[in-house]
Chains A and B, each alone.
Chain A
Amino acid sequence: MIDWNNHKIKYGLSLFLLLAVILLTTDWWRFFPLNQKNVLTVGVFSDSYWNQQNGNQHKFIDSVIQKYEENNPNIKVVYEKGILKEDYSEWLAEQIIQGTAPDVFIVLPDDFNMLSDIGALENLDSIIQKDEDFDPGIFYEAAYSGGEVDGVRYALPVECAPDLMFVNRTLLENEGIALPDLKWTWDDFYEICKKVTKDTDGNGTIDQVGVVDYSWEEAFASNNVTLFNKEGTESNFTDEKVYNALIFLDLLDVLHTGNGNTEISFERGNVAFQPMNFSSYRSYLINPIHASRYADFEWDYLTMPAGPDGDNASLLDMVSVAMYSGTPMKNEAWDFIKLLTCDEEIQADIFRFSEGISVCEDVTEAELVKENKIRLGMDTAQNMEALEYTMQNAFFTKRFFGFNGAVSAVDTAVDDILKSDANIRMEQVIQARSINNFLRTIHN
């Protein structure tokens, strides 16, 4: 029988309980060689980020895991199959809530800010400082800086794709217009659009236009507009740069009387320019069925035209990878992240299994040279130059909580302004108020 009044027994027992709690809540026990193989869990989605169904995503991650396990034979890497991209954010949130978050996981741009905000992402700065093999210079700068919040690095890029301006070379040739150079401006852009917008068959309706799908997002990006502040609590919608972009959009809008006409599209060959994500281009390139649709005209890609206040900048879309802040296997997780993002072989696999491009400059250039040989008659040197220049000026928009809602709000606002005949500056003030109201509601 235990004497419950004995102090020593009580102290001993309480110390034992405290130790049990400490062992339970920390993961020290993982360092004891109780289980022969440590398990590293990885969170990935099974379809393509670029919305192109290629069925290759598992192949890509499997090849990464295979290489990782070859390098680290005492670690087993597991991941849950069959999570779609649209369910991925919810799945990740559930894992985090239940305390079963994967050690390493892919981060979608929409979730990045939220995840770093709640503290789910490990600060990688100290690990990077300690790792002498790691060289941030191999990444495209725009892609690399996308993994930072307030100067703290939480993620590394895996694959990316910039927006580019696609151009119908045949159409321009027919109109006797020279292909614009890489540093073309809105003025050049507008001049060409004005020239090509016409009624070719004389039936009274315009059947050839300058550009489709050029929206405020592209215009704002090219005119160096920072639309929201960092926390997403306020918009700069009344900015002068916004005004200039809106004026330009209004001008284009006046030309585009044929917009909405199903007969007019880039694929049909009666549109001179269309902004398109590079992943879509690659998808067309790889897929022969897609490629056949562009068979009767020659086309290429260009940089985005620069606005008066900006560069030839375009939006960059990308997928990153991050480490869970609660992971007990930081070193193993870091090795995995490094393999995924820096290994040339793995990064080159992106060109085989995905539609995005590698975030490593050298890998992308080498692979694109190979790929461009598929398409005959393409000006490889110029294309490479265009992509290089685009990537230099591309930027990745940080997406705060409620970013998509805010984008829709701006969408509506720009639509309203372009449709109405009222003074644009006045309208800007009015719309800015409603956008700011919206931002306030999502942050409360």
Chain B
Amino acid sequence: MKKTDGNNEKIKKDYRLPDMLINLMMHLNFWMLLFILFIMYHALWGYVQEGSALSFLMNSRYIPERPFESILSAGLLYACLILLLTTETDPGIHFLLKLLAETIIVIVLSRIMSFCYMGMFLMIIANLIRRPIDRWNRNIIFVLVGLCYFLLESQILSVWIPVTSLSDYLNYYRSDYSKIFQGIINVGRLMNVFLFMCYMFFMVRIQMSENERILSLNEQLRDANAKLEEYSEKSALMAQTSERNRLAREIHDTIGHSLTGIVTGIEACIMLFDTNRDLVKEQLIAISEVAHRGMEDVRRSVRALKPDGLESMPLDLAIEQMIDEMRRSTGIRFHYNCSVKLRNTFGEDEGEALYRTVQEGITNSVRHGKPEDIWILINKIEDKINIIIRDNGSGCPDLTKGFGLSHMEERLEMLDGKLFCDGKNGFLLHAEIPIRWGTEVSWSDDQNIDS
């Protein structure tokens, strides 16, 4: 949208000069009309005052138009002509009617002026050139209007349309004055033709530059097209890679998580086995639950690559269930504190990132630090969601990011988020996710449409 507006403005700017020329032509023709009418009717008045009306009639052989009516009509018709000329129409019957009306008005005006000045026709032609008509019609119309113009300009029409010739009016004046008047009319006619030629010149130039612009646009379009093709190839490759990554991540997230839970649970069972069999049994039930869940996760991953917790229940419940399962399977104390409303707040990708971050953070802590307590804090600072997961386990003084952490980082980066880790005093994981507050609805709408 913005781009086309810019184009229109550019076109308007291009047409500023021709528009000015047409304006000038309108002014010039108005003054010519006024001047010729003045000469004609002043001469008539003079003839009557002089008492030579009879000889005027005998010489001119035609009855001149009634003075008052023709001067007033000329003014009104000219106003009408200007109105019509400045009205833009779409091609079609309206356009033809308008053109017909303009032509008739100009012929009538020329007749009032004794066919001694036909410059107004050039205004119609100039106006025609600006209109977008298809080529075939345009040629026909040009031929017709041009024919009218030449008919009038050659004064052939005055053979059939009786009219008092201008020279009969000019005869009233002294010969030097009449020559000056004739000269002024000629200069006016030439000026009009000159303006028309300038107009045509600029119009042709605009047309040419427009053609050039279209050519260069075509070239740009071709380049862009080639780039687009290249890009689409690349993006297909990228999609493949990212899908592969996603699969790896899913496998790690779901199976890794379950297995970690199971391994830790079984280790606990082994330790408890001799002392408290009841507890072991309980533990084993929990482990089996985790294993089942893991199995389901895998199945689901294979099918949709989506965690069931998130799929089947809202985010807050999913996180709570995950923590509860973890607590039951590992015996670690979880301290969960969330000060943000999680339900229906985030977009799907954000929710998943949040869920995965918490899941991965817990898994990490359980797997590497063997802590007794894990603190999980979710809060909002400015527009960002902060997730802090801290444990009191052994930590990791020289931290190297494994597959899990780098994955988490990748996932967060996709949302412009950040990840900080500190393994010095227990393990501290701090994730920051900027949220598109308030836009998640439209986003999910878009998502629906896309899918």
Residue ranges of A at the interface with B (Cβ–Cβ < 8 Å): 7, 10-11, 13-14, 17-18, 20-21, 24-25, 89-90, 92-94, 96-99, 114, 117-120, 325-326, 401
Contact = CB atoms under 8 A, between A and B. Distances in A.
Contacts of B88: 7
B167 to A, nearest CB: 13
Interface string B72-104: 110011011001101111000000000001000
A99 B87 contact: no
Given A93-B57, A114-B57, A17 B83 contact: yes
B47 interface: yes
A96 B57 contact: yes
B48 interface: yes
Given A21-B77, A24-B72, A97 B44 contact: yes
B80 A98 contact: no
B343 interface: no
Give the most central of A11, A17, A20, A97: most B CB within 10 Å.
Answer: A97
B66 interface: yes
A401 B65 CA distance: 22
B420 interface: no
Which residue, of A24, A93, A114, has the highest number of chain B Cβ atoms within 10 A?
A93
Nearest to A6: B87
Contact of A119 (B63, B70, B79): B63
25 contacts: A10-B84, A10-B86, A11-B87, A14-B83, A14-B84, A14-B101, A17-B79, A17-B83, A18-B80, A21-B80, A24-B72, A25-B69, A25-B70, A93-B56, A94-B48, A96-B53, A96-B57, A96-B63, A97-B44, A98-B48, A99-B67, A99-B68, A114-B58, A118-B63, A119-B62
A10 B62 CA distance: 36
Contacts of B84: 10, 14
A7 B89 contact: yes
Contacts of A114: 57-58
B84 to A, nearest CB: 5
A20 B33 CA distance: 19
Interface string B44-61: 100110011110111011
Contacts of B79: 17
B314 interface: no
B48 A118 contact: no
B397 interface: no
A90 B77 CA distance: 33
B162 interface: yes
A120 B54 CA distance: 13
Contacts of A117: 61
B261 to A, nearest CB: 75
A117 B162 CA distance: 11
Contacts of A90: 51-54
A112 B235 CA distance: 99
B404 interface: no
Contacts of B83: 10, 13-14, 17
Interface in B266-317: none
Q: Which of B80, B84, B162 has the most CB of A within 10 A?
A: B80
Given A7-B89, A97-B57, A98-B67, 20 more contacts: A10-B83, A10-B84, A14-B83, A14-B87, A14-B101, A17-B79, A17-B80, A21-B73, A21-B76, A21-B80, A93-B53, A96-B57, A97-B44, A97-B53, A98-B48, A99-B67, A99-B69, A117-B61, A118-B62, A119-B63
Contact of B69 (A11, A18, A24, A92): A24
Nearest to B62: A118
A99 B69 CA distance: 9
Contacts of A99: 65-69
A79 B346 CA distance: 100
Contact of B56 (A13, A25, A97, A120): A97
Nearest to B86: A10
A401 B54 CA distance: 11
Contact of B87 (A7, A21, A96, A120): A7
Contact of B64 (A7, A20, A97): A97
B260 to A, nearest CB: 74
Given A118-B57, A118-B61, A97 B48 contact: yes
B62 A20 contact: no
Main secondary structure of the interface of B (DSSP, over half): helix
Contacts of B68: 99
A89 B55 CA distance: 10
B77 to A, nearest CB: 6
A24 B71 CA distance: 11
A284 to B, nearest CB: 33
B73 A25 contact: yes
Nearest to A111: B54
Contacts of B56: 93, 97
Given A25-B69, A99-B66, A94 B76 contact: no
Given A21-B73, A21-B77, A25-B73, A94 B63 contact: no
A97 B51 CA distance: 12
B80 A14 contact: yes
A145 to B, nearest CB: 24
A21 B66 CA distance: 13
Nearest to A95: B53
Contacts of A20: 76
A189 B181 CA distance: 64
Contacts of A13: 83
Interface string B343-373: 0000000000000000000000000000000
Contacts of A17: 76-77, 79-80, 83
A99 B67 CA distance: 7
Q: Sorted from nearest, which 4 A-B pairs have the closest CB atoms? A: A99-B66, A93-B53, A93-B54, A17-B80
Contacts of B76: 17, 20-21, 24
A400 B177 CA distance: 33
B216 to A, nearest CB: 32
Nearest to B77: A21
A99 B66 CA distance: 5
A17 B48 CA distance: 31
A201 B88 CA distance: 102
Contacts of A10: 83-84, 86-87
Nearest to A115: B57
A307 to B, nearest CB: 34
Contacts of A96: 53, 57, 63
A215 B126 CA distance: 69
A13 B66 CA distance: 25
A226 to B, nearest CB: 23
Instruction: Kindly name the residue among B52, B58, B86 whose own CB sees the greatest number of chain A CB atoms within 10 A.
Output: B58
A24 B63 contact: no
A89 B54 contact: yes
Contacts of B73: 21, 24-25
Contacts of A18: 77, 80, 101, 105
Interface in B111-142: none
A93 B70 CA distance: 18
A17 B79 CA distance: 8
Most chain B beta-carbon contacts within 10 A, residue among A10, A89, A401: A10
Contacts of B62: 118-119
A386 B89 CA distance: 79
Contact of B63 (A21, A120, A401): A120
A121 to B, nearest CB: 11
A328 B101 CA distance: 27
Contacts of A325: 63
Nearest to B57: A93
B102 to A, nearest CB: 10
Nearest to B44: A97
Contact of A401 (B44, B51, B58, B70): B58
Nearest to B60: A118
